[in-house]
Amino acid sequence: MSEVSIRKDRRAGRITFTRPQALNALSHDMALQIDAALDAWRNDPDVALVIIDAEGDRAFCAGGDIAAVYQAGKAGDHTIGRQFFRDEYRMNAKIAEYKKPIVAFMQGFVMGGGVGVGGHASHRVVGDTTQVAMPEAGIGMVPDVGGTWILAHAPGRVGEYLGLTGARMNAGDAIFAGFADTYLPEAEWDALKERLADSGDVSVLKGGARPDASLQNLDLSAFGGRTVKEIIAALDKAGDQDSLKPLRRNSPLSMAATLNMVRAARGDHSIRESLAREYRFTHRATQDSDFLEGVRAQIIDKDRNPQWAASAEEEHVKRMLAPLGNEDLQWENQK
């Protein structure tokens, strides 16, 4: 069975994830199909806008399908992961830079690779079941798929908080943090998709009042610390156990790199710069980080007891984010 349905529907190009049993996890082939569809529709006069949605109630897309990356990495083959991340990131940039409107309808879990698709659309719709997160530090990875770009533009220290803790956001929080634009009850989504496909006009997209955002009420000043160690000390002093718990559970290397990358992305001029930095880490991830151990503990064996071993020292973080020379993420074929 196909993992994604791609078709033209009246004035719309339609992309629908069709593997709800896998929480619509994004595979390498799905990323390539999305990329090809966007190329095909770019100059197609019949396509006025693009609609991205997903089957099932539980998830828009709960992340990347990294089983093949894990198995290959364990066998010493690091090319599978590198090819997947490279193609996925090019697709993420294509969504972010697309000249035609892209409307993403994001129900249920929207995590990692799901943020990379829906989070960069020009019009991002969320509802009452939406749960958005970038929980990569919990599996020894970093917020990628352009996640550091979005986190860098969140207000105050929200970016550091979300990147380090992997905290989940409801619809109100997602809009507040810059991961979504419009709240609309999910019962109204199908009718809106019909209007969009009929008209080819995003002006028919009218949302409701934004739900309350609990993020607005949090004191996140501790996340202004220079290092993860300083942040933990400040949280400890403040007695913020809710924030401390994930920081004591997640990969130290991943958190140190995440802190560096979110702050570096604040100086980026485009999502491409952030994606290129993310790729430097993920290119090395199966070889020089805690990623394989994190996937083992959280997804494969599910013992939830990762044994983090990678150094989180500043010099190792620098090496993980150093330029890759000829292997750096290339854009010459990006249209």
Sorted by sequence, the CB contacts under 8 Å of residue 147 that are 6+ apart come out as 112, 115, 116, 119, 134, 136, 163, 278
Q: Which of 35, 53, 88, 136 is catalytic?
A: 136
57 catalytic, yes or no?
Answer: no
Report long-range pairs for 261-266 (Cβ below 8 Å, ≥24 apart): 261/142, 261/143, 261/148, 261/163, 261/321, 262/143, 262/148, 262/151, 262/152, 262/159, 262/160, 262/163, 263/152, 263/160, 264/148, 265/148, 265/149, 265/151, 265/152, 266/152, 266/153
Q: Which of 144, 160, 173, 278 is catalytic?
A: 144
Q: For strand 4-9 and strand 182-183, is the pairing parallel, antiparallel, or unpaired?
A: unpaired
Q: Which of 73, 108, 113, 172 is catalytic?
A: 113
CB–CB of 112/167 below 8 Å?
A: no
* Other Cβ atoms closer than 10 A to 159: 29
Q: Which of 13, 63, 64, 119 is catalytic?
A: 64
Q: Can you state the angle between helices 158-165 and 241-249, rounded to 10 degrees?
A: 50
278 catalytic, yes or no?
Answer: no
147 catalytic, yes or no?
Answer: no
29 catalytic, yes or no?
Answer: no
Q: What are the catalytic residues? A: 64, 113, 136, 144
